[in-house]
Amino acid sequence: DAGVIQSPRHEVTEMGQEVTLRCKPISGHDYLFWYRQTMMRGLELLIYFNNNVPIDDSGMPEDRFSAKMPNASFSTLKIQPSEPRDSAVYFCASSPARISTNEKLFFGSGTQLSVL
Amino acid sequence: QKEVEQNSGPLSVPEGAIASLNCTYSDRGSQSFFWYRQYSGKSPELIMFIYSNGDKEDGRFTAQLNKASQYVSLLIRDSQPSDSATYLCAVNRRQLTFGGGTRVLVKP
């Protein structure tokens, strides 16, 4: 398997523009997670899905953020409108089952987002 | 108080020495504990997990858990320059929560 695939790797946009980040999880993984990483706040969970259904979106910072998972092989994280404070690395991760003692997260390569 | 706390470092360690990393967590109901390694510009990768009090060894890595003290540690024996990275402690309750990470520098 190719692993978790994220696109784009880098995104530079201007404040106010819409940004869409994409993720393809590992085939057969039932859980998909979106994380954001910054120097100040570290790695934060934004939202996660189980079998394409959003389970916990309490980490989504504002209504400007939305995430969808229309099918088992694709998810998007959208920011509209984007702001400079959204600049971060956004990671998508998948897992075959609920995180427990021996299940691990498989991370994608991340999307480096810069909002000017 | 942050849910998972780590010293940000950098922790500077001579090659061949033992690197000792610490992590404390606030939720006593936490079930399992993970250590991820993240190289600069890369994504995190799992290196160890532990869920019972005591020590767990895997190669040069040893994870230690003390639930009474809400404390998890990672020891890296015979540190190598390739161990230079940020080490993230993660704690699982209802979801996986990460600490801010400890940057480790192993000097030849």
- Give the tens place of pLDDT for each residue, B66-84: 999 999 999 999 999 999 9
**pLDDT tens figures, B3-42:** 899 999 899 999 999 999 999 999 888 888 999 999 999 9
Chain A hits for B92, CB-CB cut-off 8 Å, are 99-100
CA A68 remoteness from chain centre: 10
- Search chain B and give the residue with CA nearest A48: B95
Handedness of CA B65, A107, A43, B92 (dihedral sign): negative
CB contact under 8 A, B44 and A108: no
Structural contact between residues B24 and B5, judged by C-beta atoms closer than 8 angstroms: yes
pLDDT at residue number B15: 97
Average pLDDT over residues B48-56: 92
Instruction: Give the best residue of A31, A36, A41, A43 to mutate against chain B (max B CB count within 10 A).
Output: A43
Q: E strands within chain A?
A: 5-7, 10-13, 19-24, 31-38, 42-50, 53-56, 65-71, 74-79, 88-95, 106-107, 111-115
Q: What pLDDT, in 10s, does the model give residues A42-98?
A: 999 999 999 999 999 999 988 999 999 999 999 999 999 999 999 999 999 999 876
- Chain A residues 17-36 within an 8 A CB cutoff of chain B: 33
A42 in B contact zone (CB under 8 Å): yes
With CA atoms as reference, the chain B residue closest to A107 would be B43
- Give the pLDDT confidence score for residue A102 in this predicted structure: 53
